[in-house]
Amino acid sequence: MKSVEVNFDGLVGPTHNYAGLSEGNMASLSNAQNSSNPKQAALQGLKKMKALHDMGLTQGVFAPQERPDIYTLKRLGFQGSDAQILAAAYKASPSILASCCSASTMWTANAATVSPSADTSDQKVHFTAANLANKFHRSLEPKTTSNILQAMFADEKYFKHHQHLNDNEHFGDEGAANHTRLCQSYGENGVEIFTYGRFAFNRNMPAPIKFPARQTFEASQAIARLHGLSTEKAVFVQQNPAVIDQGVFHNDVIAVGNQNVLLYHEQAYLNTDAFVEEVRSKFTGEQLHFLKVTTEQVAIKEAVNTYLFNTQIVTLNDNSMAIIAPMHCRENKRVYDFLQSLIADNNPINDVKFFDVNESMKNGGGPACLRLRVALNEAELQAVNPACLLSNKLYEQLVVWVNAHYRDKLMIDDLRDPQLLIESRTALDELTEILSLGSVYRFQQ
Protein backbone atom coordinates (compact mmCIF):
# COMPACT_ATOMS: atom_id res chain seq x y z
CA MET A 1 0.00 0.00 0.00
CA LYS A 2 1.44 3.38 -0.96
CA SER A 3 1.98 5.84 1.89
CA VAL A 4 2.31 9.60 1.69
CA GLU A 5 3.29 12.32 4.05
CA VAL A 6 0.61 14.96 4.45
CA ASN A 7 1.51 18.40 5.76
CA PHE A 8 -1.23 19.92 7.87
CA ASP A 9 -0.49 23.62 7.90
CA GLY A 10 -1.83 25.89 10.59
CA LEU A 11 -4.19 28.48 9.25
CA VAL A 12 -3.21 31.78 10.86
CA GLY A 13 -5.94 33.05 13.17
CA PRO A 14 -7.56 36.51 13.06
CA THR A 15 -5.72 37.80 16.16
CA HIS A 16 -2.16 37.25 14.88
CA ASN A 17 0.00 39.79 16.71
CA TYR A 18 3.50 40.49 17.99
CA ALA A 19 3.56 40.45 21.77
CA GLY A 20 7.09 39.35 22.59
CA LEU A 21 5.85 36.37 24.57
CA SER A 22 8.55 33.81 23.83
CA GLU A 23 11.71 34.18 25.85
CA GLY A 24 14.51 32.35 24.04
CA ASN A 25 12.92 33.00 20.63
CA MET A 26 14.90 35.91 19.16
CA ALA A 27 12.38 36.95 16.51
CA SER A 28 9.48 37.05 18.97
CA LEU A 29 11.42 39.28 21.35
CA SER A 30 12.80 41.61 18.72
CA ASN A 31 9.44 42.24 17.03
CA ALA A 32 7.50 42.76 20.27
CA GLN A 33 4.89 45.51 19.95
CA ASN A 34 5.27 45.86 16.17
CA SER A 35 2.03 46.03 14.26
CA SER A 36 0.98 42.81 12.56
CA ASN A 37 -1.10 42.09 9.49
CA PRO A 38 -3.31 39.04 10.22
CA LYS A 39 -4.85 39.06 6.74
CA GLN A 40 -1.49 39.00 5.04
CA ALA A 41 -0.20 36.37 7.47
CA ALA A 42 -3.10 34.04 6.68
CA LEU A 43 -2.80 34.63 2.93
CA GLN A 44 0.97 33.98 3.01
CA GLY A 45 0.32 30.68 4.76
CA LEU A 46 -2.39 29.72 2.30
CA LYS A 47 -0.12 30.53 -0.62
CA LYS A 48 2.50 28.12 0.69
CA MET A 49 -0.15 25.43 1.14
CA LYS A 50 -1.44 25.98 -2.38
CA ALA A 51 2.07 25.86 -3.86
CA LEU A 52 2.77 22.51 -2.21
CA HIS A 53 -0.60 21.23 -3.38
CA ASP A 54 0.31 22.36 -6.91
CA MET A 55 3.62 20.49 -6.60
CA GLY A 56 1.56 17.32 -6.32
CA LEU A 57 1.76 16.91 -2.54
CA THR A 58 -1.19 16.13 -0.32
CA GLN A 59 -1.77 19.21 1.78
CA GLY A 60 -3.97 19.58 4.84
CA VAL A 61 -5.39 22.57 6.69
CA PHE A 62 -5.31 22.79 10.50
CA ALA A 63 -7.84 25.23 11.94
CA PRO A 64 -6.76 28.01 14.32
CA GLN A 65 -8.15 28.39 17.84
CA GLU A 66 -10.58 30.68 19.49
CA ARG A 67 -8.86 33.85 20.63
CA PRO A 68 -9.24 35.96 22.72
CA ASP A 69 -9.51 33.06 25.14
CA ILE A 70 -12.27 34.48 27.35
CA TYR A 71 -12.47 31.28 29.39
CA THR A 72 -8.88 31.57 30.54
CA LEU A 73 -9.40 35.23 31.41
CA LYS A 74 -12.42 34.24 33.51
CA ARG A 75 -10.39 31.51 35.17
CA LEU A 76 -7.86 34.20 36.09
CA GLY A 77 -10.57 36.19 37.85
CA PHE A 78 -11.63 38.75 35.25
CA GLN A 79 -15.37 39.23 35.40
CA GLY A 80 -18.36 40.79 33.69
CA SER A 81 -19.36 40.99 30.06
CA ASP A 82 -16.84 39.97 27.39
CA ALA A 83 -16.05 43.66 26.83
CA GLN A 84 -15.50 44.21 30.57
CA ILE A 85 -13.28 41.15 30.84
CA LEU A 86 -11.09 42.33 27.94
CA ALA A 87 -10.83 45.85 29.38
CA ALA A 88 -10.01 44.61 32.89
CA ALA A 89 -7.37 42.18 31.63
CA TYR A 90 -5.73 44.89 29.53
CA LYS A 91 -5.70 47.23 32.51
CA ALA A 92 -4.20 44.60 34.80
CA SER A 93 -1.60 43.46 32.28
CA PRO A 94 -1.47 43.90 28.51
CA SER A 95 0.81 40.85 28.46
CA ILE A 96 -1.80 38.60 30.07
CA LEU A 97 -4.37 39.79 27.57
CA ALA A 98 -1.91 39.36 24.68
CA SER A 99 -1.13 35.82 25.87
CA CYS A 100 -4.83 35.00 25.72
CA CYS A 101 -5.03 36.49 22.22
CA SER A 102 -1.96 34.90 20.64
CA ALA A 103 -2.50 33.17 17.32
CA SER A 104 0.36 30.80 18.19
CA THR A 105 -1.63 27.72 17.17
CA MET A 106 -0.56 28.53 13.60
CA TRP A 107 2.73 26.72 14.37
CA THR A 108 1.32 23.25 14.08
CA ALA A 109 4.76 21.65 14.30
CA ASN A 110 4.07 22.23 17.98
CA ALA A 111 0.51 20.93 17.91
CA ALA A 112 1.32 17.28 18.54
CA THR A 113 3.72 14.38 18.12
CA VAL A 114 2.54 11.92 15.50
CA SER A 115 3.74 8.34 15.05
CA PRO A 116 2.69 6.63 11.83
CA SER A 117 1.11 3.18 11.96
CA ALA A 118 4.24 1.53 10.54
CA ASP A 119 6.04 2.36 13.81
CA THR A 120 3.44 1.65 16.49
CA SER A 121 2.70 -1.63 18.29
CA ASP A 122 -1.02 -1.61 17.43
CA GLN A 123 -0.47 -0.34 13.87
CA LYS A 124 -2.59 2.74 14.40
CA VAL A 125 -1.50 6.33 13.83
CA HIS A 126 -0.89 7.83 17.28
CA PHE A 127 -1.34 11.49 18.20
CA THR A 128 -0.41 13.24 21.43
CA ALA A 129 -1.17 16.94 21.57
CA ALA A 130 1.76 18.89 23.01
CA ASN A 131 1.24 20.51 26.41
CA LEU A 132 3.56 23.43 25.56
CA ALA A 133 3.97 23.93 29.29
CA ASN A 134 6.96 26.26 29.07
CA LYS A 135 5.04 29.27 27.73
CA PHE A 136 1.79 30.45 29.24
CA HIS A 137 0.27 31.56 25.92
CA ARG A 138 1.05 28.19 24.33
CA SER A 139 -0.12 26.15 27.31
CA LEU A 140 -3.65 27.28 26.39
CA GLU A 141 -3.57 25.21 23.21
CA PRO A 142 -3.65 21.43 23.89
CA LYS A 143 -7.31 20.83 24.75
CA THR A 144 -8.68 22.43 21.60
CA THR A 145 -5.78 21.04 19.56
CA SER A 146 -6.99 17.58 20.58
CA ASN A 147 -10.56 18.45 19.65
CA ILE A 148 -9.43 19.52 16.19
CA LEU A 149 -7.17 16.49 15.73
CA GLN A 150 -10.05 14.22 16.65
CA ALA A 151 -12.33 16.01 14.21
CA MET A 152 -9.76 15.48 11.46
CA PHE A 153 -8.72 11.94 12.37
CA ALA A 154 -11.91 10.51 13.80
CA ASP A 155 -11.87 6.87 12.76
CA GLU A 156 -10.85 4.77 15.77
CA LYS A 157 -9.99 1.90 13.49
CA TYR A 158 -6.97 3.83 12.26
CA PHE A 159 -6.29 6.67 14.71
CA LYS A 160 -5.44 6.77 18.40
CA HIS A 161 -5.46 10.02 20.38
CA HIS A 162 -3.75 10.43 23.75
CA GLN A 163 -4.36 13.09 26.32
CA HIS A 164 -1.54 15.67 26.40
CA LEU A 165 1.11 15.06 29.07
CA ASN A 166 0.62 16.57 32.51
CA ASP A 167 0.63 20.36 32.46
CA ASN A 168 3.94 20.83 34.18
CA GLU A 169 7.40 21.74 32.99
CA HIS A 170 8.76 18.42 34.22
CA PHE A 171 6.90 16.95 31.28
CA GLY A 172 7.30 19.95 29.00
CA ASP A 173 6.47 18.72 25.49
CA GLU A 174 6.67 20.77 22.28
CA GLY A 175 5.41 18.16 19.85
CA ALA A 176 6.82 17.46 16.41
CA ALA A 177 9.24 20.41 16.54
CA ASN A 178 11.51 18.12 18.56
CA HIS A 179 10.65 14.92 16.75
CA THR A 180 12.01 13.68 13.40
CA ARG A 181 11.34 10.43 11.67
CA LEU A 182 13.78 8.80 9.28
CA CYS A 183 12.57 5.99 7.04
CA GLN A 184 13.29 4.46 3.67
CA SER A 185 9.76 5.16 2.48
CA TYR A 186 6.87 6.64 4.48
CA GLY A 187 5.03 3.34 4.83
CA GLU A 188 8.00 1.45 6.25
CA ASN A 189 9.02 1.14 9.86
CA GLY A 190 11.13 4.21 10.67
CA VAL A 191 13.49 5.51 13.31
CA GLU A 192 11.79 8.12 15.49
CA ILE A 193 14.24 10.67 16.87
CA PHE A 194 13.22 12.56 20.00
CA THR A 195 15.31 15.59 20.80
CA TYR A 196 15.10 17.07 24.30
CA GLY A 197 16.67 20.08 25.93
CA ARG A 198 17.12 18.92 29.52
CA PHE A 199 16.40 16.29 32.14
CA ALA A 200 13.61 17.16 34.55
CA PHE A 201 14.59 14.82 37.37
CA ASN A 202 18.36 15.03 37.21
CA ARG A 203 19.96 18.37 37.90
CA ASN A 204 23.46 17.08 37.28
CA MET A 205 22.91 16.72 33.57
CA PRO A 206 23.79 19.51 31.09
CA ALA A 207 21.17 22.21 30.53
CA PRO A 208 21.09 25.68 29.00
CA ILE A 209 21.86 28.63 31.26
CA LYS A 210 20.37 31.66 29.57
CA PHE A 211 17.21 30.44 27.90
CA PRO A 212 14.73 27.71 28.83
CA ALA A 213 14.89 24.18 27.48
CA ARG A 214 11.27 23.58 26.61
CA GLN A 215 11.34 19.82 26.06
CA THR A 216 12.40 17.31 28.70
CA PHE A 217 13.86 13.85 28.30
CA GLU A 218 11.08 12.48 30.49
CA ALA A 219 8.39 13.96 28.23
CA SER A 220 10.01 12.48 25.11
CA GLN A 221 10.16 9.06 26.73
CA ALA A 222 6.52 9.27 27.82
CA ILE A 223 5.43 10.00 24.24
CA ALA A 224 7.42 7.04 22.90
CA ARG A 225 5.79 4.79 25.54
CA LEU A 226 2.29 6.06 24.80
CA HIS A 227 2.77 5.54 21.07
CA GLY A 228 3.98 1.97 21.55
CA LEU A 229 7.30 2.52 19.80
CA SER A 230 9.90 -0.19 19.90
CA THR A 231 13.11 0.66 21.78
CA GLU A 232 14.91 -0.76 18.76
CA LYS A 233 13.53 2.07 16.71
CA ALA A 234 13.44 5.09 19.02
CA VAL A 235 16.40 7.39 19.55
CA PHE A 236 16.62 10.01 22.31
CA VAL A 237 19.20 12.71 21.86
CA GLN A 238 19.95 15.85 23.80
CA GLN A 239 20.03 19.20 22.06
CA ASN A 240 23.26 21.09 22.55
CA PRO A 241 22.44 23.46 25.47
CA ALA A 242 24.84 26.05 24.03
CA VAL A 243 22.69 26.47 20.92
CA ILE A 244 19.48 26.79 22.96
CA ASP A 245 21.24 29.72 24.64
CA GLN A 246 21.80 31.21 21.17
CA GLY A 247 18.13 31.13 20.22
CA VAL A 248 17.57 27.54 19.07
CA PHE A 249 14.42 27.06 21.11
CA HIS A 250 13.25 23.98 19.18
CA ASN A 251 15.29 21.33 17.39
CA ASP A 252 13.57 22.20 14.10
CA VAL A 253 15.50 25.49 14.15
CA ILE A 254 18.76 23.54 13.74
CA ALA A 255 17.92 20.22 12.00
CA VAL A 256 15.39 18.85 9.53
CA GLY A 257 14.82 15.35 8.26
CA ASN A 258 12.83 13.62 5.56
CA GLN A 259 12.86 9.91 4.69
CA ASN A 260 16.55 8.94 4.50
CA VAL A 261 17.93 12.48 4.77
CA LEU A 262 18.93 14.41 7.88
CA LEU A 263 20.17 17.95 7.36
CA TYR A 264 21.68 19.21 10.60
CA HIS A 265 24.14 21.71 11.98
CA GLU A 266 27.28 20.27 13.50
CA GLN A 267 26.45 22.01 16.79
CA ALA A 268 22.84 20.81 16.97
CA TYR A 269 23.28 17.85 19.31
CA LEU A 270 25.34 16.77 22.28
CA ASN A 271 27.44 13.70 21.49
CA THR A 272 26.75 13.88 17.77
CA ASP A 273 28.96 10.95 16.82
CA ALA A 274 27.18 8.56 19.18
CA PHE A 275 23.84 9.87 17.94
CA VAL A 276 24.70 9.35 14.27
CA GLU A 277 25.96 5.87 15.05
CA GLU A 278 22.78 4.94 16.92
CA VAL A 279 20.56 6.18 14.09
CA ARG A 280 22.62 4.25 11.56
CA SER A 281 22.37 1.06 13.59
CA LYS A 282 18.58 1.37 14.05
CA PHE A 283 17.71 2.40 10.50
CA THR A 284 16.57 -0.28 8.09
CA GLY A 285 16.87 0.67 4.46
CA GLU A 286 19.34 1.53 1.80
CA GLN A 287 21.33 4.69 2.08
CA LEU A 288 21.12 7.20 4.90
CA HIS A 289 22.24 10.73 4.09
CA PHE A 290 23.59 12.69 7.06
CA LEU A 291 24.05 16.14 5.62
CA LYS A 292 26.16 18.02 8.12
CA VAL A 293 26.45 21.80 7.97
CA THR A 294 29.55 23.19 9.63
CA THR A 295 29.88 26.42 11.59
CA GLU A 296 32.29 27.59 8.95
CA GLN A 297 29.60 27.17 6.31
CA VAL A 298 26.76 28.67 8.35
CA ALA A 299 27.17 30.15 11.83
CA ILE A 300 24.50 29.47 14.48
CA LYS A 301 23.49 33.12 14.37
CA GLU A 302 22.91 32.90 10.61
CA ALA A 303 20.95 29.69 11.01
CA VAL A 304 18.74 31.38 13.61
CA ASN A 305 18.30 34.55 11.55
CA THR A 306 17.56 32.86 8.24
CA TYR A 307 15.84 29.69 9.48
CA LEU A 308 17.89 27.58 7.07
CA PHE A 309 16.93 24.48 9.08
CA ASN A 310 13.31 25.45 9.61
CA THR A 311 12.77 24.41 6.06
CA GLN A 312 10.63 21.58 4.83
CA ILE A 313 12.24 18.80 2.87
CA VAL A 314 9.51 17.22 0.80
CA THR A 315 9.47 14.23 -1.51
CA LEU A 316 7.98 14.94 -4.92
CA ASN A 317 6.12 12.46 -7.10
CA ASP A 318 9.26 11.58 -9.05
CA ASN A 319 10.88 10.66 -5.70
CA SER A 320 13.30 13.57 -5.81
CA MET A 321 13.29 15.96 -2.87
CA ALA A 322 12.82 19.71 -2.71
CA ILE A 323 13.56 22.10 0.10
CA ILE A 324 10.95 24.70 1.04
CA ALA A 325 12.72 27.71 2.50
CA PRO A 326 11.78 31.17 3.76
CA MET A 327 12.82 34.30 1.82
CA HIS A 328 15.44 35.06 4.46
CA CYS A 329 17.47 32.17 3.04
CA ARG A 330 17.44 33.78 -0.38
CA GLU A 331 18.45 37.16 1.00
CA ASN A 332 21.50 35.91 2.92
CA LYS A 333 24.28 35.27 0.41
CA ARG A 334 26.12 32.62 2.42
CA VAL A 335 22.95 30.68 3.14
CA TYR A 336 21.76 31.06 -0.44
CA ASP A 337 25.12 29.81 -1.73
CA PHE A 338 24.98 26.92 0.70
CA LEU A 339 21.54 25.93 -0.58
CA GLN A 340 22.71 26.10 -4.18
CA SER A 341 25.61 23.78 -3.36
CA LEU A 342 23.28 21.49 -1.42
CA ILE A 343 20.98 20.96 -4.39
CA ALA A 344 23.94 20.54 -6.77
CA ASP A 345 25.64 17.92 -4.56
CA ASN A 346 25.07 14.22 -4.77
CA ASN A 347 22.12 13.79 -2.38
CA PRO A 348 18.34 13.40 -2.88
CA ILE A 349 17.58 17.15 -2.54
CA ASN A 350 17.46 18.62 -6.05
CA ASP A 351 15.50 21.83 -5.80
CA VAL A 352 14.87 24.77 -3.51
CA LYS A 353 11.76 26.94 -3.42
CA PHE A 354 11.51 30.16 -1.45
CA PHE A 355 8.35 31.38 0.23
CA ASP A 356 7.33 34.62 1.85
CA VAL A 357 6.02 33.67 5.28
CA ASN A 358 7.38 36.84 6.81
CA GLU A 359 4.44 37.58 9.10
CA SER A 360 5.05 34.23 10.79
CA MET A 361 8.85 34.57 10.67
CA LYS A 362 8.62 37.76 12.73
CA ASN A 363 7.36 35.61 15.59
CA GLY A 364 9.99 32.91 15.02
CA GLY A 365 7.90 30.59 12.85
CA GLY A 366 9.34 29.43 9.52
CA PRO A 367 7.90 27.08 6.89
CA ALA A 368 8.53 23.97 9.02
CA CYS A 369 6.92 25.46 12.14
CA LEU A 370 3.75 26.01 10.15
CA ARG A 371 3.16 22.35 9.39
CA LEU A 372 2.40 19.08 11.16
CA ARG A 373 3.51 16.02 9.23
CA VAL A 374 1.33 12.94 9.19
CA ALA A 375 2.48 9.90 7.22
CA LEU A 376 -0.55 7.88 6.11
CA ASN A 377 -1.20 4.80 4.04
CA GLU A 378 -4.01 4.79 1.49
CA ALA A 379 -6.68 3.46 3.83
CA GLU A 380 -5.74 5.96 6.54
CA LEU A 381 -5.76 8.83 4.06
CA GLN A 382 -9.24 7.78 2.98
CA ALA A 383 -10.31 7.99 6.62
CA VAL A 384 -9.13 11.60 7.09
CA ASN A 385 -11.83 14.26 7.18
CA PRO A 386 -11.76 15.18 3.48
CA ALA A 387 -12.90 18.75 4.10
CA CYS A 388 -9.50 19.44 5.74
CA LEU A 389 -7.50 18.43 2.65
CA LEU A 390 -6.60 21.28 0.35
CA SER A 391 -8.09 21.43 -3.13
CA ASN A 392 -8.25 24.34 -5.56
CA LYS A 393 -11.80 24.92 -4.42
CA LEU A 394 -10.95 24.90 -0.72
CA TYR A 395 -8.06 27.27 -1.35
CA GLU A 396 -10.36 29.74 -3.14
CA GLN A 397 -12.93 29.42 -0.37
CA LEU A 398 -10.37 30.08 2.35
CA VAL A 399 -8.97 33.12 0.54
CA VAL A 400 -12.47 34.58 0.33
CA TRP A 401 -13.03 33.70 4.00
CA VAL A 402 -9.80 35.43 5.10
CA ASN A 403 -10.53 38.52 3.03
CA ALA A 404 -14.00 38.74 4.51
CA HIS A 405 -13.07 38.39 8.16
CA TYR A 406 -9.47 39.42 8.83
CA ARG A 407 -8.02 42.82 9.66
CA ASP A 408 -4.92 44.09 7.94
CA LYS A 409 -3.46 45.78 11.00
CA LEU A 410 -3.38 44.81 14.63
CA MET A 411 -1.57 46.40 17.58
CA ILE A 412 -1.51 45.17 21.17
CA ASP A 413 -3.98 47.95 22.05
CA ASP A 414 -6.51 46.51 19.59
CA LEU A 415 -6.69 43.21 21.44
CA ARG A 416 -9.10 44.66 24.02
CA ASP A 417 -11.55 45.69 21.28
CA PRO A 418 -14.69 43.58 21.89
CA GLN A 419 -15.41 43.78 18.18
CA LEU A 420 -12.28 41.69 17.51
CA LEU A 421 -13.72 38.90 19.66
CA ILE A 422 -16.98 39.01 17.71
CA GLU A 423 -15.14 39.06 14.38
CA SER A 424 -12.96 36.16 15.42
CA ARG A 425 -15.86 34.00 16.60
CA THR A 426 -17.90 34.78 13.51
CA ALA A 427 -14.97 33.76 11.32
CA LEU A 428 -14.26 30.55 13.22
CA ASP A 429 -17.90 29.55 13.30
CA GLU A 430 -17.96 29.79 9.52
CA LEU A 431 -14.63 27.95 9.27
CA THR A 432 -15.91 24.93 11.18
CA GLU A 433 -18.59 24.65 8.48
CA ILE A 434 -16.06 24.94 5.67
CA LEU A 435 -13.74 22.33 7.23
CA SER A 436 -16.61 20.15 8.57
CA LEU A 437 -15.12 20.12 12.04
CA GLY A 438 -18.28 20.16 14.14
CA SER A 439 -18.28 22.17 17.38
CA VAL A 440 -14.60 22.13 18.32
CA TYR A 441 -14.59 25.55 20.02
CA ARG A 442 -15.92 26.32 23.47
CA PHE A 443 -18.06 29.21 22.24
CA GLN A 444 -19.92 26.68 20.09
CA GLN A 445 -20.66 24.28 22.92
- Cα–Cα distance for residue pair 303/282, rounded to 1 Å: 29
Shortest distance, CB of residue 95 to ligand SUG, whole angstroms? Answer: 10
Comparing CB distances to ligand SUG, the nearer of 10 and 187 is 10
d(CA 68, CA 19): 14
∠ Cα 124 128 132 (to 5°): 165
> 135-164 mask for ligand SUG (x: CB under 6 A)?
x--x--------------------------
Is 23 an annotated catalytic residue? no
Residue 403 CB, nearest approach to ligand SUG (Å): 23
- 101 a catalytic residue: no
Residue 289's nearest CA partner among 267, 266, 262 is: 262
Shortest CB 88 distance to ligand SUG, Å:
21
Query: Residue 129, interface with ligand SUG (CB under 6 A)?
Result: no
Distance separating alpha carbons of residues 223 and 200, to the nearest angstrom: 15
Residue 28 contacts residue 363 (beta carbons within 8 Å): yes
The residues in 162-191 that bind ligand SUG, with binding defined as CB under 6 A, are 177
Cis peptide, bond prior to residue 212, ω within 30 of zero: no
Binder among 7, 65, 110, 315 for ligand SUG (CB under 6 A)? 110
Residues in the interface with ligand SUG (CB under 6 A) total: 22
As a whole number of angstroms, the distance between CA 187 and CA 200 comes to: 34
The answer to the question of residue 22 lying near ligand SUG (CB under 6 A) is yes
Spatial CB neighbours of 345, under 8 Å, sequence gap ≥ 6? none
Question: Residue 258: which residues within 8 A CB-CB, separation 6 or more?
Answer: 5, 312, 313, 314, 315, 321
109, 133, 213, 428: residue in contact with ligand SUG (rule CB under 6 A):
109
CB of 104 to ligand SUG, least distance (A): 4
The verdict on whether 329 is a catalytic residue reads no
Query: For residue 237, what are the CA distances in angstroms to 37, 42, 257, 266, 282?
Result: 38, 34, 15, 14, 14
Q: Which of 4, 12, 19, 152 binds ligand SUG (CB under 6 A)?
A: 19
Among 4, 12, 21, 182, binds ligand SUG (CB under 6 A): 21
Give contact residues for ligand SUG (rule: CB under 6 A).
18-22, 25, 28, 102, 104, 107, 109-110, 135, 138, 177, 250, 252-253, 363-365, 369
Would you please indicate which residues are annotated as catalytic (active-site) residues?
174, 250, 369
